[in-house]
A = this chain, B = another copy of it.
Amino acid sequence: MSERFDTLAQHFRENGHKLTQPRQAILHALLVAPKPLSPAEIQEQGQVFYADLGLVTVYRTLELMEEMGVVRTVHLADGCHGYALATPGHTHHVVCERCHAVVEIFGCELGEFLQSVAERTGYQITGHWLEIAGICANCQQMEK
């Protein structure tokens, strides 16, 4: 087993969780994955290591791992649900964590950064998508 695996396994034990076969399978699946996986994909891949792995267990384990900071959620292009009128041109959003008020940021200072990303990764960049979380002026007042 990889060194990475052992570190993750220890994480479980430190937090007082048992390292069962289903959980090991899920860890393995995520370790060898070249991309973010959906729960269903994790089950599928995980069954290579533990044939009886159930989808429910995948959900519960992911929840656990998220709490422990072992997995991160990656937002994919589909399945996210909020709609706002499009504004001409390229904009970004700042969303208030408290009241969900949204401010649009016009102008995008990311060009240079993206250029360097393209060079570093060999990817041809086709788009990007930034969202900023914060607390709006109003809600900052409230907290006092």
Contacts and interface: CB of A to CB of B under 8 A. Distances in A.
Number of copies: 2
B83 A97 contact: no
A86 B71 contact: yes
Contacts of A62: 83
* A: interface residue count bin: 35 or more
Interface string A113-144: 11011101111111111111111110010000
A100 B79 CA distance: 15
14 contacts: A30-B83, A36-B83, A36-B84, A71-B85, A76-B81, A79-B80, A122-B136, A123-B137, A124-B134, A125-B133, A126-B133, A126-B134, A126-B135, A128-B132
